[in-house]
Amino acid sequence: MEPATAKATDSSTFEEIGRATLQIVHDLKNQLNGLKLYATFLRKRLDQDERATEERETLAKLISGLDRAARDMTALVKYARPLEIRRQAHVDLGRMITEGAREATEHAKSGTPIACEIHDRIQGDFDSILLSQGLAAITEHSLGTGPLKRPISISLRRTSSHEGDEALIEWQQANASNTRPLQTPDRHLNIHTELAAKIIRAHGGRLEFDAHSIRAWLPLSERI
């Protein structure tokens, strides 16, 4: 007599689980935003009362953690849903990269240098909002986490393949032999970088990782 085999879970069950998970994530994000409001209120009261520095620092860390968790949940919801690409004409990739690098430097708050090397002026038809978010996520991933972030360079150049002209964006580590690799051995990416890869693929592009560099190719229209 052969042992009974478990029935495969049908696709509708997975869809229901997915919808329920997204609803839970959405509700949790709303609760985190509410907690952030309370924490911000308490921080303002502490500032008025001139309380101990340790108490204000604790609240600042709490607010930062709530912000980070809310950003992760937003990225998860976006990753789980189909992307709607709204292309705009003549989006300047070089400007997008330099502005994103400046914002990443300010967000890092460590003075970590980001060198931008714009070799070619490239414009294309892209969703400027989604693509900006994706490139910023890759830049933050390249910088790393913690107080000791990696110095990196970002380059942009035009290249060609059998499919036509492409924009090549490359993130590289400075002094790569002396710094931690960009990519862990198991190729684990956080949800923000996974979402960035999805955004680039939705534009018809591709993303490639190795130990000390990340490369993104974006197709350009024939008239560029």
The CATH number of residue 117's host domain is 3.30.565.10
Closest residue by Cα to residue 138 from 130, 126, 146: 130
Please report the pLDDT score of residue 179 as a whole number: 54
**φ, ψ of residue 50 in degrees (nearest 5):** 55, 50
CA–centroid distance for 152 within its chain: 16
Do 194 and 95 share a structural domain? Answer: yes
pLDDT in tens, 194-207: 999 999 999 999 99
**pLDDT confidence tier of residue 32, bands split at 50, 70 and 90:** confident
Q: Please state which of the ranges 22-36, 89-103, 189-203 shows the lowest mean pLDDT.
A: 22-36
- What does pTM read for this prediction? 0.71
pLDDT in tens, 145-202: 665 577 889 999 999 877 789 999 999 986 655 555 565 444 456 888 899 999 999 9
Is pLDDT above 60 for 60?
yes
Residue 112 lies in a domain: yes
Do 63 and 131 share a structural domain? Answer: no
Please report the pLDDT score of residue 6 as a whole number: 43
Q: Where are the alpha helices (DSSP H) in 81-182?
A: 93-108, 128-143
In the numeric block, the tokens 């070619």 are attached to 120
Beta strands 152-161 and 206-209, pairing class: unpaired
Residue 137 lies in a domain: yes
Residue 1 lies in a domain: no
Sign of CA dihedral 18, 21, 25, 31: positive
pLDDT in tens, 214-223: 999 999 964 3
Side-chain half-sphere of 46: how many Cα atoms within 13 Å? 16
Number of domain units in the chain = 2
Q: Is 79 helix (H, G, I), strand (E, B) or coil?
A: helix
Do 186 and 106 share a structural domain? Answer: yes
Q: Which of 54, 80, 106 is the last residue of a domain?
A: 80
Do 101 and 71 share a structural domain? Answer: no
Mean pLDDT to the nearest integer, 89-110: 83
Please report the pLDDT score of residue 40 as a whole number: 79
Please report the pLDDT score of residue 12 as a whole number: 66
Domain range for 210 is 88-219
Residue 224 lies in a domain: no
